[in-house]
Amino acid sequence: MNTQAVEFWDGVYEARAVPTDPSPNVRLTETVTGLAPGDVLDLGCGDGGDALWLARQGWRVTALDISAVAVRRLAGLAHAHGLADRITAERHDLGDPLPPGRFDLICAHYLHTPLGLDRDAVLRAAAHALRPGGQLLIVDHGSTAPWSWNQDPGLHYPAPREVAAGIGLDPELWPLERAEVLHRPATGPGGRTAQVTDHLLLIRRTA
């Protein structure tokens, strides 16, 4: 377990108010609504809004985060909302091998960190953990929101196809379903609003 990463992300979540029913990411609900539910792996579950929403749609969720604070809060929310039988919240360093199993959907929303993580290797491993027909949904920041923890003006946000090239999957076995730059209004802490950009990549495993 990366001690520096643990301390950083525990600090991020301890500084936030405890959510009672966190909202899911909009790109998740847009993309997944209408899919037949199955087994889903949530990489970096954070406040837990995605995991809770997926469980309500009938998915069996394995939610991972390096922060013990985030995992503990999600486990409590799952119990409070009657979803404990559908959500398994695990503390996990994504620098380590993924938990065993095969999944119909794997989500990586805003999997950015200022600390060392071989993101390409994580996403490559995730693609290999899909069942045939399963999908890997990657949503990245494409712009810096005013409330972001990283305000580096020189920060580069790789385009979706740039991300796909870095993962380095065989396009015959993992074709791109979508690679899009999307814009939306967003609301941050204290009700601040801004127009933000998302980079969306959707990859399907064919065999």
**∠ CA 175-200-118 to the nearest 5 degrees?**
80
pLDDT of residue 14: 92
* 132 CA to centre of own chain: 21
Helix (H) or strand (E) holding 17: none
Cα 139 to Cα 154: distance, rounded to the nearest angstrom: 20
pLDDT tens profile 55-99: 999 999 999 999 999 999 999 999 999 999 999 999 999 999 999
Q: What are phi and psi of 10, to 5 degrees?
A: -60, -40
Taking the domain 3-204, which CATH number applies?
3.40.50.150
> Domain spans of the chain?
3-204
pLDDT of residue 115: 83
DSSP state of 189: G
* pTM exceeds 0.85 for this model: yes
User: Residue 142 contacts by C-beta under 8 Å, 6 or more apart in sequence?
Assistant: 157, 181, 182, 196, 197, 198, 199
pLDDT of residue 188: 80
Please state whether beta strands 39-43 and 103-109 pair in parallel, antiparallel, or not at all (unpaired).
Answer: parallel
Task: At 111, list the tokens.
Answer: 């999997």
Is the four-CA dihedral 143, 64, 78, 38 of positive or negative sign? Answer: positive
pLDDT tens profile 155-191: 889 999 999 999 999 999 999 999 999 999 988 877 8
